[in-house]
Structures are given as C-alpha cells and as structure tokens.
Amino acid sequence: MGMTMSQKILAAHANLPEVKAGQLIEARLDMVLGNDVTSPVAINVFNDCNATKVFDNTKIAMVMDHFTPNKDIKSAQNCLQVREFAGKYDIKNFLDVGEMGIEHALLPEKGLVGPGSLCIGADSHTCTYGALGAFSTGVGSTDMAAGMISGKAWFKVPSAIKFNLIGKPQKFVSGKDVILHIIGMIGVDGALYKSMEFAGEGLKYLNIDDRLCIANMAIEAGAKNGIFPVDDITREYTNGRFQGEPVEYTADEDAEYEAEYTVDLSQLKPTVAFPHLPENTKTIDQVEKIEIQQVVIGSCTNGRISDLRAAANVMKDKKVAKGVRCIVIPGTQKIWLDAMHEGLFDIFINAGAIVSTPTCGPCLGGHMGVLAQGEKAVSTTNRNFVGRMGHIDSEIYLASPAVAAASAVKGYIADPADVCNK
C-alpha cells in the first residue's frame, strides 16, 4: 500500500523506507517552535533534565506574540525568562517586540518552514505550515523541551482523510469559508488524530493565504495536521524565501484514506461559525440579524495581507457602526508595513477602526479586545469556545475578513455583498 504526503515526510525523517498508520516512530526535526506562553514551561523542563546545550540553535524559534507588548507583570516575567534562555544558548530565531509577529504568520514569511519540513511547535496551530507542503503539528511544552535537546520527537503515524476541492469560489468566498464549511460538515472531532490532505483542481483558486488559513484550522476538526501538495503557488511563495532545502512529496496513487470528500468551491457561500464550537456553522443567508459590539480582524488565521485587503475593500468609504469596536491586527511587522503603504490603514482608521501592533491578543482573551459579559463579537480568529475571548457569558462568531468587515459596518452579522452593493 502506498503512502500519503504526511506519511512520506514522516518516513523520510525517521530514515525508514515506509511507515503505516498507527506506527510509532522517532523522527528528526527541522524546526522546534515555542511562544511566550509555552516556552517558559519548556525551559523549566529543559533545566530539570540538566541539559547544557540545544541540538541546533538555528532550528529553534521562540516568538513573543501572545501577551506582547507585555500586558502585565506575569507576561513580562515569562518573556524575560525566554529572553535570557535565548541569549544563553544563542537562539538565532528569538523574535521579540520590534521583530516579532504572530508566530504562524511569521515563520512562513521568514522562510523558517517550507516544503518537506518536519516541524513541531508548543502551540496547537502549528499545523498551519502544512499549507507549504510541510508536516507540522502542535505538541506540549515537554515535547518541545525534548525536541530542543535531542532534535527528535516521537510520532504516531496518522491515518488520513482526503478532501478533493473542485470548482471556483464565488466572490467573497475565501479559505476561511472553505475550512468552516468542512468543519461544519465533519465536526470538531471529524478528523481526530488524522491528517487532512487537500487535493483537486480547485486548489489553483486558493492563494497561499487561503491555504495557510485552511491548514491552520485543521486542528479545529481534531486533526493531527493539514497538508497541501506543493504546486506553482507554493513555489512562488517559498522560492528564494525558504531557508532550508525544499523537498516535494506527493501522495501515492494507492495511498490509503479513511474517508474521501469532494467539496465544490463554486457552491460555497460566506460561512459563520456560531457559539460555542467551530462546527456550529451557518451560511450567511441563514443568519438572522444578530447585533454585535466588537469585530476583530487578524490572528494567525486571518491576519495576512490578502485578509486585510479583503476587509479594506468592504470598509472603503464607509463607517463602523455606532456602538461597535473594530480592531485590525496585522500578522507581522512586514504585513503591517505593506498594509500601511498600500493605504489600508487610511481606510480602516477613516472608517473608525483601530490598528494594533502584531499580537495574538484578543484571540485567546489576552489583551487588545477582551469581551465583557453579554457582548457579542465577530472575529476572524479560529476558536469560539466559551470564554475564549473574555467573559464566559460573551459570544464569538467566527467569520472571514470580508464578513467581519461587513458586520463592523452594519452593526450586525452581515453579508459583504449587501454592504458593497450599496
């Protein structure tokens, strides 16, 4: 029996001719990632192991993105601990205020991950890098510590589900709508510990930002990882950017999948996930008038330049509705600068929105937009669990940047077509 893309990457990094679903393997790592929340725990484990060196100071990334600029004393102490560790062991990819961005937007941008890479990160959305043809997955901080010491990690080889994407998306339908549709279809445990592998002629209509968004939210279906084949769109993004040696893997024709789904992109509509699970989806035409108090446009899911352009396109020459706070958070410093130079900030600020430094901030109820009791928010983030963005009696509606922008203008969850046609 043949292998999937994920299985081929794992086999190569385990120095094995083949692997099978369910097999336990030890594999070498190309990148170990931590942030300001998870790295301190890993550092404590590292020290408890009496480790005296890291396996490779160029293959560890520590990104201060969750609570930075520091929102309180605890977050400041966490960052100090990571800063001192990075200095002691000369961690080349320690990224602090001024250099940092949201980790899963920053690592692809800096070329620290790419085709054929095997990456672990002490953050569940590390699965983002599958968009580039890498195997990447989230782990606990203990595994991060072991990876920093040994350059290896244990894996249980996942089985796979194949998603054949066909057709061309309609206007205002993006990668966010694709993945929300899929999660709504299979559920938050529909791909539990499986590899979500994407294929089909519809891929040519999904840009790299769409793919990064889709792979990012594979974890919201319970998946071990999400992965896309390397094609011209991937190469255009990674060539001259990726710092490693790219290796392109394709699934064998006789690769085994536990299930296969066909998704016709031409039939999709803007989609919203209602509280309190990403699977609780409705298309925009099914959404009743729900008034909101906050809109967040950003995160590791939708803080990239095409996301900001989509939002600006909807908000141009319009005003944020009275009583609504609209917060725009570019994913990295580069994206921030690009958006500024393109005039997107003018559009957002003239509309009555604010623009933040790159941060995970409100996505996890950290800062820059925590919700009060009873408040409702439309957010381009990836999770809408109870209390995720603030008070346990607040509500989060997940949507694309276009829907979020339209909702900010209307003051309720809205179809971008209705805003742009008037």
Q: Left, alpha or beta for 390 (phi > 0: left; psi -120 to 50: alpha)?
A: left
For residues 351 and 372, membership in a common domain is answered with yes
Encode pLDDT of 131-150 as tens digits. Answer: 999 999 999 999 999 999 99
Encode pLDDT of 34-93 as tens digits. Answer: 999 999 999 999 999 999 999 999 999 999 999 988 889 999 999 999 999 999 999 999
Please list the alpha-helical segments (H only) found in 187-242.
Answer: 208-216, 232-238
Position 197 scores a pLDDT of 97
CA atoms within 13 A on the CB side of 143: 21
The 8-class DSSP code of residue 370 comes to P
> Could you tell me the pTM of the whole model?
0.95
For residues 253 and 345, membership in a common domain is answered with no
Instruction: Indicate the residue among 217, 233, 263 that finishes a domain.
Output: 263
For residues 178 and 327, membership in a common domain is answered with no
DSSP E strand stretches across 243-401: 259-264, 271-273, 281-283, 294-298, 325-329, 354-355, 376-379, 395-398
Distances (CA, A) of 68 to 98, 113, 316: 10, 23, 30
For residues 198 and 326, membership in a common domain is answered with no
For residues 18 and 72, membership in a common domain is answered with yes
Classify residue 84 as exposed, middle or buried by CB count within 10 Å of its CB (0-12, 13-18, 19+).
exposed
Non-local (6+) Cβ contacts of 400 within 8 A are: 172, 173, 174, 176, 177, 270, 271, 302, 310, 380
Token pair belonging to 233: 């769109």
Instruction: Indicate the residue among 236, 263, 290 that finishes a domain.
Output: 263
For residues 217 and 353, membership in a common domain is answered with no
The 8-class DSSP code of residue 412 comes to B
For residues 332 and 251, membership in a common domain is answered with no
Position 366 scores a pLDDT of 86
Instruction: Indicate the residue among 230, 263, 296 that finishes a domain.
Output: 263
For residues 197 and 284, membership in a common domain is answered with no
Q: Characterize 33-60 residue by residue with b for buried, 16 or more Cβ atoms within 10 angstroms of its Cβ, and e for exposed.
A: bbbbbbbbbbbebbeeeebeebbeeebb
Assign residue 152 the CATH number of its domain: 3.30.499.10
Please list the alpha-helical segments (H only) found in 93-138.
Answer: 103-110
- Could you tell me which of 62, 59, 54, 58 has the C-alpha nearest to residue 106? 62
For residues 149 and 18, membership in a common domain is answered with yes
Domain total for the chain? 2
CA distance 23 to 362: 38
For residues 184 and 285, membership in a common domain is answered with no
For residues 242 and 103, membership in a common domain is answered with yes
For residues 159 and 81, membership in a common domain is answered with yes
CA distance 355 to 394: 23
The domain of 255 spans 5-263
Low-confidence ranges of the chain (pLDDT < 70): 422
